[in-house]
Amino acid sequence: MAIWKPTDPEQFKFTTDDWTDTTSKRCGAYEKSKTLAERAAWDFHKKLPENEKFELVCINPGLILGPNLVKCNFSSGDIVS
């Protein structure tokens, strides 16, 4: 299940059937890439023969730190990198 869906989270209960709407204008490249990658992983896993299946876990990290590939243009983004 992806994290973001264009609905009011207070009125919507997320399940494993809910995915980010990658066609929405609110869906940026980062969100789209993560959603498509996770869907591909689950599709791959689903098509495996039963004797080749393995446990698959997808984690949505709360924070990722590391060097920026481009200048962030906001001070906290540039300080963290």
Give residue 60's pLDDT band: very low, low, confident or very high (50, 70, 90). Answer: confident
Domain ranges of the chain: 9-80
pTM (two decimals): 0.62
6 pLDDT higher than 90: no
The answer to whether 58 touches 35, Cβ cutoff 8 Å, is no
CA distance 39 to 51: 21
Judge whether residue 5 has pLDDT over 90: no
> Torsion over CA of 37, 38, 41 and 44, rounded to 10 degrees?
-90
Determine the average pLDDT of the residues in 60-73. 72
